[in-house]
Structure 1
Amino acid sequence: MATDLNASFNEQFMNINTKLKKRFLRKPNVSEATNEFLALAIQCEYSEQPTFAGHSYIGAAKCEASVGNFLGEAEHLVAAGRQFMKAEKKLSSLKFCSPDRENLEAAIGCFIQALHKYPDNSSIRLSILTEVANHLVELNLKCEAVSYYEQALELVEESNMKIMFMRNYINLLIECDNCDTALEKANELIDSKPNLPEDILAEVQLSRVLLSLYVEPSDEVNTESLKQLLTDILNDVDSEAIPFNADLRLKLQSTIISCATNDTHSLVKVSSELKHHLSTRQTGLLESLLQAKREHLA
């Protein structure tokens, strides 16, 4: 590497840029500059300086853009985005909050800029959107992740992958307390009649029951399949669409009746038993339902 390894990052970074600018009278050696930026990025990674590494990858990306190598530019932008995300997670682990979110905004900017370098139907666009969403979830910025999952979902074509994306999307909406949309998407998943694995079917159907009790959708919005689900549970009808064991079905019957009669005391009692059948996010949804019923009666 042409730069002095003992120099500061700023000195090395500026040295590369200066060499490029000094060659304005002749065609600069962009390939050499790209390699120097990449070498500096790797050096910064080894030194646990992800923010500096991110800026170095951006330098390499700009070099690739200057010669029309847009895929190379995109590759380096993704690398930069990952380094900025790493820096943001490091700050988060230290419980340090940056009000301007410099690293996070830089990371998202790099990922989105890279995204637009690929064709609309490229699988790499799906990978980038999914990666951004997953990073945001890890940073507990789940509501910000929703829009990226939405965009990714539009690009998914393979049926099994689409099922998993829809499931994750619905769960994320529940965690963000966007329950109206969560119910809408859960209904959409069931009504599209995919061949759902039994465990996913049970999870989605259970979420639909809890969501419907919490959201209380109007008859115009309610779907026939959801009405049938609630009716079959109340009437103890056996159906492939209700893969619940006898105990869970009994608890759901009591929950539905308690909500319909606004019997908060009974709802509290059955909820303590129902929780054993629920996931963490479904338990949170049940708690929201209880709180809504208490406020309604207050």
Structure 2
Amino acid sequence: MATDLYASFNEQYMNINAKLKKRFMRKPNISEATNEFVGLAIQCEHSEQPAFAGHAYVGAAKCEASAGNSLGEAEQYLAAARQFMKAEHKFVSLKFSSTDRENLEAAIGCFNQALNKYPENSLMRTSILMELASNLVSFNHKLEAISYYEQALENIENKTMKLMCMRTILNLLIECEKWDIALDTANTIVDKILNIPENILAEVQVSRVLLALLVKPMDENKPDSLKNLFTSILNDCDSDAFPVNIDLRLKLQSIIISSTTGDANSLICVCADTKGFLTMQQAFLLDKINTEIRLTQYCDSVRSYLN
């Protein structure tokens, strides 16, 4: 059945191309060919053959390019990209693995083709970059996704959208264990964005604390806001810059003291009680801090034994 579908698609695709190449007697009808490619793509979609549909939409995009219709070309490339992404999702859901990422690479290429048809500061460019990044995250290509989120961030003017994009980047950097860059990103969110909603500010501040305990930046490299955050927690002070409940503040206080003194046993105890207050990424950071402290303690004990 699959072979029949391929043969049918290939025959129709080649027939449309053949019409375009007949230039001897008259100019080819680009509009007609575009409609035929789109019709073929829709037929493939209905047959649940998204990869074939993607190729047909690429054919339509090339027709639009020949006609000088940049907007139409971009729309067809976007349609193609979405079909190639759908094909990749289908491929992955069937538990197949592919080192060449054929459908995914085709989708990325089509998204980039569409991007090139819009002005630098266009909202459509931002939307396309965000869509591509989101798809890459769904395939667990998180570092790749970050680069597209960062490109989108350059064009975002809306404060709320900018904050949400930076928050997404921060969490992806944590998941990719890029601690230094994640801490810089969290610092930027707090120091550069005004009037952050309390719930998001609290989340970012907690992530900053945990990241700083992992990165251990020198005092001269810490922004004042980060120094003030640690001072506020350790001195048990209420602060608008750290809008968390008293329970979480006290638990973070214990984590900071246990971590800086290298008290692995105390840290294990407080970790168990703290995770219910944390996001998935923050719980991951806490586990890393715990592991690092225990490893340090083990290495110290080995050195003491050898000496």
2:201 counterpart of 1:201: yes
Contact 2:259 2:289 in 1 (8 A): no
CA distance in 2 between counterparts of 1:26 and 1:181 reads 60
Match for residue 21 of structure 1? 21
CA contact (8 A) 2:88 2:104 kept: yes
Tell me the secondary structure at the aligned position of residue 288 of structure 1: helix
Distance in 2 between residues matched to 1:266 and 1:7, nearest whole Å = 67
Alignment of structure 1 residues 1-298 onto 2, 5 Å:
8-297=8-297, 298=299
2:304 alignment counterpart: none
Q: CA deviation at 1:26?
A: 2.6
Output the TM-score relative to the length of structure 1: 0.96
Percent same amino acid at aligned positions? Answer: 63
Question: Whole-Å Cα distance in 2 between the matches of residues 262 and 75 of structure 1?
Answer: 57
Between 1:165-174 and 1:44-53, the stretch displaced more is 165-174
Amino acid at match of 2:64: E
**How far apart are residue 7 of structure 1 and its match?**
6.7
Amino acid at match of 2:269: K
Task: Give the unaligned 5+ runs of structure 1.
Answer: none
Q: d(CA) in 2 for partners of 1:24 and 1:257?
A: 83
The Cα offsets for residues 53-94 of structure 1, whole Å up to 9 and x where unpaired, read as 000000000001011111111110011000000000111111
In structure 2, distance between residues paired with 1:204 and 1:69: 45
SS in 1 for 2:220: coil
**Separation in structure 2 between the aligned mates of residue 110 and residue 174 of structure 1, nearest angstrom:** 29
2:303 counterpart residue number = none
Matched pairs, number: 294
Q: Which moved more, 1:117-126 or 1:240-249?
A: 240-249
* CA distance in structure 1 between the aligned counterparts of 2:38 and 2:231, rounded to whole angstroms: 62
Could you say what the CA RMSD is over the residues aligned between the two structures, in angstroms? 1.4
Report the CA distance shift for 1:257/1:242 in structure 2 as closer, same or farther (over 3 A): same
Give deviations 1:223-271, integer Å, cap 9, x for gaps: 1100110111000011111111111111111100011101111111111
**Unaligned stretches of 5+ residues in structure 2:** 300-307
Q: Secondary structure at the match of 2:295?
A: helix
Q: 1:25 and 1:138 mapped to 2: Cα distance?
A: 50
Query: Partners in 1 of 2:110 and 2:226 — Cα distance?
Result: 42
Worse-matched range after superposition: 41-50 or 264-273 = 264-273
**Distance in 1 separating the partners of 2:61 and 2:230:** 55
Superposed CA offset, 1:104-153 (max 9, x none): 00000000111011100100000000000000111122121010011011
More helix by share: 2
Q: How many Å apart are 1:211 and its aligned residue?
A: 0.6
> Deviating runs (4+, > 4 A) in structure 1?
none
Secondary structure of the residue aligned to 1:157 is coil
